[in-house]
Structure 1
Amino acid sequence: MSKKKWAVGAAGILMSLSLVACGQSKTVVTTDGGKITEEQYYNKMKQTQQGKQELQQLILNKVLENKYGSKVKKSEVNDQLKQYKSQYGSQFSAMLQQQGMTEAQLKGSIRDNLLLKQAVLDKTSFTDKDLQKQFKSYEPEVTTKMITVKDEDTANTVISALQNGDKFDTLAKKYSTDDATKNDGGKQQPFDNATTTVDSKVKKAAFKLKNGEYTTEPVKTDAGYVVIQMVKHPSKGTWKEHKSELKDQLATSRMNNSSTLHSVVSKVLKSGDVHIEDNSMKNILSGYIDTSK
């Protein structure tokens, strides 16, 4: 069973693998050569690796939702979705199409991963030493405005205009290629050092700014050149003041560790009272829990 699958979440097309109830199996497809029933489809899909992985994911998601569903808010999912939209800008729809996903499926995948992170928070330990080490790279969540342009010359034109007293919001509407934010003065979703949807060069440049300051040199990214203005940059404070955020960042990092993730998933499934009713699928969770009994 693929360990990586648990980290990905249900990002692909979920296939219906429900066991057929007593009675006649429902027809899925009709053709001039005959019909295809749910039972036929299920029996075929459960023999494939993709079908097995999808069922594994469905089992895990059921258990995670039951145990941690109340801890994942819709606002968290929507915030991450906004970050993706801001990151990809006008290419967001193309990105979804390339991944073979709808926006609803992306939101589902985001929620799955947030549920998994709650499990990591619950099933792994966080010592003071761990938190202090994480604090060395910690930056508090900042609020910024950004103007993204295609070339360096235009970025320098924007910076010159700012130095001459022009308003950042006005310049964003005039020059920014980010259609999702330009009419709101380029205002971005808040981000911290652990935010993965913001370019590392942008984060590095932003964290150097004080409130009201802007970058005096263009920041080169894959999307073009960016001019950043700091709106709100909180004080870093002490590690004890940010225990919750530090644990959250560590949990996100641990989700990339296959051994840690395997241990967490095993613990979650063992506590989920999972029973495989289809005898031919009894070993589908082998390596995580024993469902043969």
Structure 2
Amino acid sequence: MKKWILSASLVAGAVGLAGCGAGDDVVATSKAGDVTQQELYDSMKEKYSPQMEQALQEVMYKKVLSEKYEVSDKEVDKELKKAKEQLGPQYEAFLAQYNLDEKGFKDFLKLELLREKAALSDIKVTDKEVKEYYDKWQPPMKIRHILVEDEKKAKEVEDKLAKGEKFDALAKEYSSDPGSAQNGGDLGWVDSQSREQFVPEFSKALDTLKKGEISKPVKSDLGFHIIEITDMKEKKPFKDMKAELTKELKQSKADPETIQKKLDKELKAADVKVKDEDLKGAFGGSSDSDKKSDKEEK
């Protein structure tokens, strides 16, 4: 998800112009002269060419993929809920960081889902693979931690917790993790895939804890972690989870190169042609100029 959001931050200021089509309509007036859409568009291209190419990609992907794949409001809302669970109290700060409001975030999640549906449409998995994936699958859990530099300080925190002091207050006081300390150590909801972001010692410790249980200090290259699972979802029977896990397994097989090849294939099938010479590089090998080069070589 975050990979696409980083792209979104690049195009936030330019995507509107890329989608509307510049012309002679006046966007601003002064005694010195008017500024037209075309002048503004040309200025944006001159100063922000990479962002304009990125904006063109976003708009064209949405048009092309929407012709073949459908994403419902319900699917977008589900993805939004998942993002809020993962980000927890950092959600609003996350939106602010990428200059997005919730509507803009939902629009972008819809495009991400369109890309995902296109990328996964050609990937096949067997029932055996899905069952093996289910056997190893861990239910999402909501966790928090306190990270300190040395064992002595970890023992100090451990003793204070044993005496009944609040976990969140101690996280704010002691934790050296800048991403979670001021949120009481909260790391939000973590699923099987997102657990890969943690150091191995941290992830391994999660397997030993039950809901509401606080770990002993866990040593890693980052320091010493004190971890608590504050909530955990249920692992349902295989038949109830098969569809969801089939999708997750396909996602795990969709590497960036595979995804891009599929998107290029969809653009080629839609006969995408970039008419603006300054934006010819927006689609790489999918642009009409590249197609012409291929024909000339033949």
Give the TM interval when normalised to the shorter protein: 0.5 to 0.7
- What is the CA–CA distance in structure 1 between the aligned matches of 2:246 and 2:7, rounded to whole Å? 21
Partner Cα distance (1:127, 1:219) in 2: 39
2:76 match: 73
Q: Percent identity?
A: 21
Is 1:84 the counterpart of 2:65? The answer is no
What do you get for the CA RMSD once the two structures are aligned? 4.4
- Which position in structure 2 is the counterpart of 1:262? 260
- TM-score, normalised on structure 2? 0.66
Verify the 8 A CA contact 2:27 2:36 in the aligned structure 1.
yes
Find the counterpart in structure 1 of residue 167 from structure 2: 172
Specify the alignment match of 1:117 in structure 2: 116
The answer on whether the counterparts of 1:84 and 1:197 sit within 8 Å (CA) in structure 2 is no
Q: Contact 1:137–1:193 at 8 Å: present in 2 too?
A: no
CA-to-aligned-CA distance 1:108-164 (integer Å, 9 cap, x gap)? 5455334422333334322335435645753222244x2435555454334334555
Residues 15-54 of structure 1 aligned to structure 2 (within 5 Å): 15=14, 16-17=17-18, 18-20=20-22, 25-28=24-27, 34-43=33-42, 45=44, 48-54=49-55
Alpha-carbon distance in 2 for matches of 1:224, 1:142: 21
Number of equivalent positions:
269
Contact 1:96–1:103, Cα closer than 8 Å, also in 2 = yes
Moved more, 120-129 or 6-15: 6-15
Greater relative contact order: 1 or 2 (C-alpha under 8 angstroms, separation 6 or more)?
1
Whole-angstrom CA distance in 2 between matches of 1:288 and 1:148: 48
Residue identity opposite 2:56 in structure 1: L
Post-superposition shift, 1:61? 2.5
Do residues 208 (structure 1) and 197 (structure 2) align? no
Is the Cα contact below 8 Å between 2:145 and 2:228 reproduced in 1? yes
Partner residue of 1:102 out of 99, 112, 118: 99
Q: Identify the structure with the greater helix proportion.
A: 2
Please state how far the C-alpha of 1:234 moved relative to its aligned partner.
Answer: 4.1
TM-score (norm 1): 0.66
SS for the counterpart of 2:11 is coil
**SS in structure 2 at match of 1:250:** helix
The aligned amino acid for 1:72 is: E
Alignment of 1:111-190 (within 5 A): 111-128=110-127, 130-131=129-130, 134-135=133-134, 138-144=137-143, 146-152=144-150, 153-163=152-162, 166=164, 171-177=166-172, 178=180, 181-182=183-184, 189-190=188-189
SS in 2 for 1:189: strand
Q: Could you tell me which amino acid in structure 1 is paired with residue 118 of structure 2?
A: A
Question: Is the alpha carbon distance of 1:8 and 1:147 closer, same or farther for their aligned partners in structure 2, counting shifts above 3 Å?
Answer: closer
Conserved 8 A contact 1:266-1:288: yes
Instruction: In structure 1, list runs of 5 or more residues that go unmatched.
Output: none
Q: What SS does structure 1 have at the residue aligned with 2:71?
A: helix
Whole-angstrom CA distance in 2 between matches of 1:274 and 1:229:
51
Deviation string 1:78-108 (CA, Å, 9 cap, x unpaired) is 431452355x699x46x955xxx21425665
The residue aligned with 2:59 is 58
